Structure 1
């Protein structure tokens, strides 16, 4: 359920960004469709559940992750729904498996600045050393990354080196 909650909240954050015009133009369409299916499944099942409404409010407020309390309550609500409805449990497991197969969704947004010196490394975005992993990655409104000194390295945005 923890994974389902994470994906559901990521969908809510994406929705909030689309509404405010902050969505990344290069969103992976297959992943986006899977996230839409997950949101629809959860929304239909939980309906007007106050915990789902609280998650929507937190996402709209700019949080990247739900509060610990909202996450816990949403996990419990989904566990309860799955325990009472085997078809829902199976559908939820299937959609989560599809999303996991699509790879990770790495997003860096509204980061601060970082500075590397003396051979260090600084990044204000998504770092996948050697292009490790798959799935979509996006960096939005990242801060400055500054390198100073021999061997120092800095990046901002998405770094696959």
Structure 2
């Protein structure tokens, strides 16, 4: 995955999170460093792309409650950012720095529309974000997760965010 694709992923996560905060559904505990880095990335991209239709569409989709942008919107954002980075070296450098700041703040794990997790006979099955050994750092979000079922002694199944 290129840096631009990662930037689009972060940007989309920011847009979805912003739509939720506006709607009053923000998580009570926000990682401030990560939030600041995501804000900076959004400001940088928004300033460069301005009224670009791909960015406008991503905002519309996030505001409408979509968990992530459509594949077409994501592709259009990637192309718009690639074009901006190719034609403006200062922007490319600033984008690289903004991405580094987000990464330093911790991982941003976002998963949407996971499938079903089913474990039998002592097995473990997980879909979504899995961070073994504790809570980890950075934020994790899961939306529209599938069903989880576990049958038998020692079986464990989870969808969404799993910190075990």
- Bin for the TM-score computed over the shorter chain: 0.7 to 0.9
- 1:43 CA displacement: 0.8
1:93 equivalent to 2:96? Answer: yes
- 1:125 CA displacement: 5.9
1:10-159 alignment to 2 at 5 Å? 10-107=13-110, 114-123=117-126, 126-131=129-134, 134-138=137-141, 145-155=148-158, 158-159=161-162
Inter-partner Cα distance in structure 1 for 2:28 and 2:125: 26
Inter-partner Cα distance in structure 2 for 1:144 and 1:72: 29
Inter-partner Cα distance in structure 1 for 2:145 and 2:152: 22
Say if 2:114 and 2:160, in contact at 8 Å, map to a contact too: no
After superposition, the C-alpha distances for 1:55-88 in whole angstroms (9 at most, x for unaligned) are 1112122223322211121111112222222221
Q: Which runs of 5+ in 2 are unaligned?
A: none
Inter-partner Cα distance in structure 2 for 1:38 and 1:16: 16
Q: Which runs of 5+ in 1 are unaligned?
A: none
TM-score (norm 2): 0.81
TM-score (norm 1): 0.82
SS of 1:64's equivalent? coil
Root-mean-square deviation (CA, aligned residues, Å) is: 2.7
Say if 2:117 and 2:159, in contact at 8 Å, map to a contact too: no
- 1:118 CA displacement: 2.0
